[in-house]
Amino acid sequence: MKLTETVVLDKELRWIGKSVTRRDGVGKVTGETKFFSDMTLPNMLWARAARSKYPHALIKSIDTSKAEAVPGVVAVLIHKDVPGMNAFGIVVPDQPVLCFDKVRYLGDSVALVAAESKEAAEKACSLVEVEYEPLPVVSDPIEAVKPDSPKVHEKGNIQRHGSIRVGNVEEAFRSAAVVVENTFRTGRQMHMFLETEAGIGMLDDHGTLVLFIGGQSPYRDQMQVSRALGISPESIRVISTPVGGAFGGKEENSVQIHIALLVMKTKRPVKMVWTREESGFAGIKRHPMTITMKTAADRNGRLLANEVHIVADTGAYASLGPTVLDVAMENSCGPYSVPNIDIDAYLVYTNNGVSGAFRGFGAPQVNFAIESNIDIIAEKLGIDRLEIRKRNVLREGDVGPFGYPLLGSVGIYETLLRAENSEIWSDRAKCKAQRSKPWCRRGVGIAAAVKGFGFGALPDFGAASIQMTPIGKFVVGVSCPEIGQGATTAYAQIAAEALRCNLEDIYVASADSQLAPDTGTSSASMALVRGGNAILAAAPKMIDLLLEAASKIMTESKEALAITKSQVISTKNQRETLTYAEIAKYLHKMRAETKVIAGYTVPRVEKPVEGSIEIPHLSYMYASAISLVEVNTLTGATKVLKVFLSPESGKIINPQTYTGQCEGAIIQGLGFALTEDTQIENGIIKTNNFTTYVIPTIRDIPEIEVDPVETYEKIGPFGAKGLGEIGVIPIGSAVVGAIHDATGARIFTLPATPERVFNALRRRMEEYGSKNQGQAFPRTQV
């Protein structure tokens, strides 16, 4: 059954497209929301992991006797206490729950302690005696692939090699008017969520293991805990919300299995909260990438070929690296039509922490490379930077770069038109002419971005449930956690719209494996589309249930009934109505079924592109960004003054949360562009707190303008499409484009720190001097 005109009387959208207040907003803004790291339980123990003392070493022996003797210590566990599979990792389970023969980074755990106090747990960890045989540290991913490099894993340091060939790049390079080749490097960005990896576990009265752990998928956590403990997933309940920030960094297991092991051992509630420093050296990071890109165009700026070589540092373990590599490959040609493509990408093990999922998932790194090369080609051909992008972007009805049709809406051209008409682009000469100091220079940069939402060619499903309460309201079960993206509010809007009821009559039971069916993950910018569609699959079943009951009460055929404004109405005599509350009363009195469940399968291609895991997606997100920056030519410091972002949005479910998502993504993109890079030397992290690792603060936030191009996405609920990641992707590219526009200095390594910008300026001056018989660089140009 579908929502048809015969069932739904009122066609006007009451909730979709409205800026209703985010349900979790007030609590989070006022600080009243209690996260799991704030939670305590009676008789609770504190847990801590004893971590490796070396970035790379063999374990010769482990002695826990001194740790066990510390007063207050209740349990000390090592590898032999892991009853199930002693490994985790969503794509490739290659990370030990507790190490037994070898450690591969400083975050590796060798023992677990549960104690009556944090202090006792910490002291016991320090007394776990491990005899190590240190091994040479592998810190450079380029060196790591060489045959004589020390092996992080026995099978070698290349975790994955992906390659894709389309057409003939060599032929295209020979016929091109311009060919540019550059090497780009990106930083190891940290998520820096305000709540570190944390949670609390307990056994309930039924013996069920209950885990309260902020994460991105309760069912995936349940699966990883289940296989490590060797117990049925049905005996594990995971509640994953509220989450104090995630951004991809809470998609992988962190504290889940450790807490579960200690709860099962002690039969007492156990809490584990990683310190900020622990989150720094043990947690997930964005993959640093070295990208060599050779791009060719004809004299009109039409792209002819792109040859891409990527080396991604996944650190000690794979985590989600294999699919991050796919997304990097898929997006390495940007939102452009490129007929000849040659990509080789390597995911490499080192002893540099662990890299994994991070908002953008490989796309921001390659966007920096392709967008920079486009700028350079435009400069060489004397074509306007925005114009060259307009000439090359994909359009509705086009075939994607890997030969598959683009099923979803394609609005990148329209976003470029919005960018063209924005104040900072159309008045850029005026914007650039201003400066706060005589030695400062202003410039404007532009970038276009693309990323698929969902899992591409991989299977992707989600289910939702709807239950009617005894007073005629609805509980909507969706397991995708609210990670700050506004999903819970959007789900409520979608459900209220589909069920034609008031928004306050919808309660969203989210992210609880006992209360909601598996709706998949809050990841890949897909929670809205997958969860929303699952709700839209369940809603007709609930409407059918309502009509069936109303038919009996009203002694009217079901076909002559319709729903409108929280009631069932007779289409023959519209004065005959029955409220949802009255139907609920009847259903509960009759002890009839009041719950429905339905699922949604995401469309995908039959077979992925050869050499890939999940390429292509059928639907993509698009955006264009412009930034206005001011560069201090004496120090190299860059200040971003304004960012304009035009995403192609699909139907916007909630304009307020939409804008908030974009603003958050832009700010995270500014960190990627200018400051954020975890410094690791010989396997030892040097920047693991907010003092040494610098993220944008309120003082750094520029003026932001978001101007979405509203379209209709065919696969989205009410025409909506994914959003979470697209805003972060073009920001780094737009900022370095602006730095070049301001100073003529080209940046090839992110973040564009003052030192890098200053050195690029100096190189620019030296190049000018060598080309102009030693003349000083004109002051007017810098």
Partner 1 sequence: MMRCLGEWTITTDGVHVKVKIFAAPRLALESEDVTLELQDDTTAQDLLNSMPIKEKNYLYVVRDSIRLTPSSKLHGGDEVLIVPPIAGGL
What does the binding site for partner 1 look like in residue numbers (CB under 8 A)?
A: 84-85, 90-91, 93, 219-220, 223, 226-227, 232-234, 247-248, 251, 320, 323, 326-327, 357-361, 451, 453-463, 517-518, 521-526, 534, 537, 597-601, 603-607, 614, 724-725
Is 658 or 758 the residue whose CB approaches partner 1 more closely? 658
Residue 268 or 286: which CB sits closer to partner 1?
286
The residue (of 201 and 727) whose beta carbon lies closer to partner 1 is: 727
In our burial notation (b when 16+ CB lie closer than 10 A, e otherwise), range 707-728 reads bbbbbebebbbbbbbbbbbbbb
- Of the candidates 473, 455, 554, the one whose C-alpha atom is nearest the C-alpha of residue 509 is 473
Q: How far is the CB of 476 from partner 1 (least distance, A)?
A: 15
Strands 209-213 and 236-239 come out as: parallel
Could you write out the three-class secondary structure of 126-183? HCCEEEEEECCCCCCHHHHCCCCCCCCCCCCCEEEEEEEEECCHHHHHHHCCEEEEEE
Q: How far is the CB of 480 from partner 1 (least distance, A)?
A: 12
Least distance from partner 1 to the Cβ atom of residue 211, Å: 17
Shortest Å distance, C-beta 524 to partner 1: 2
Residue closer to partner 1 by CB (options 323, 633) is: 323
- Minimal distance, residue 220 CB to partner 1, in Å: 6
Our CB check for partner 1 shows the closer of 495 and 598 to be: 598
Q: How far is the CB of 614 from partner 1 (least distance, A)?
A: 5
Q: Determine the Cα angle at 287 with ends 319 and 734, to 5°.
A: 140
Least distance from C-beta 219 to partner 1, angstroms? 7
CB of 498 to partner 1, least distance (A): 17
Assess contact for 341 and 306: CB atoms under 8 A.
yes
Indicate the residue among 27 and 230 with the shorter CB distance to partner 1: 230
Q: Which is nearer to partner 1, 85 or 178 (CB)?
A: 85
Question: Measured from the CB atom, is 442 or 530 closer to partner 1?
Answer: 530
Q: Which amino acid is at 59?
A: I
Chain centre distance of CA 712: 23
Structure token digits, residue 748: 């090839």
CB 472 to partner 1: min, Å: 26
Indicate the residue among 70 and 354 with the shorter CB distance to partner 1.
354
Q: What is the dihedral of CA 30, 652, 643, 731, to 10 degrees?
A: 100
Identify the three-state secondary structure at position 3: coil
Which residues, listed in sequence order, are joined to residue 601 by a DSSP beta bridge?
461
Q: How far apart are CA 425 and CA 192, in angstroms?
A: 32
Nearest-Å Rg of the Cα atoms of the chain is 28
* Rounded CA separation 349/312 (Å): 9
Burial (CB count within 10 angstroms: exposed 0-12, middle 13-18, buried 19+), residue 497: buried
CB of 597 to partner 1, least distance (A): 6
Single out the residue of 21, 188, 179, 48 nearest to residue 125, CA to CA: 48
Q: Which of residues 525 and 733 has its CB atom nearest to partner 1 in the complex?
A: 525
User: Cα–Cα distance between 135 and 29 in angstroms, integer?
Assistant: 47
Residue 470, preceding peptide bond in cis (omega within 30° of 0): no
CB of 428 to partner 1, least distance (A): 32
Residue 272 or 487 with smaller CB distance to partner 1:
487
Beta carbon of residue 706, minimum distance to partner 1 (angstroms, whole number): 19
Q: Are 247 and 266 in contact (CB under 8 A)?
A: no
Q: Are strands 57-63 and 129-134 parallel, antiparallel or unpaired?
A: antiparallel
Q: Which residue, 722 or 751, is less far from partner 1 as judged by CB? A: 722
Question: Is 103 strand, coil or helix?
Answer: strand
- Other Cβ atoms closer than 10 A to 779: 9
- The secondary structure of 555-606 as a DSSP string is T--GGGEEEETTEEEESS-TT-EEEHHHHHHHHHHTT---EEEEEEE----S
Output the smallest distance, CB 526 to partner 1, in A. Answer: 6
Q: Which CB atom, from 224 or from 422, has the smaller least distance to partner 1?
A: 224
SS3 content of the chain, % helix, strand, coil (to 5): 30, 25, 45
Give 295 or 485: the residue with its C-beta nearer to partner 1.
485
- Burial (0-12, 13-18, 19+ Cβ within 10 Å), 701: middle
CB 609 → partner 1: shortest distance, Å? 13
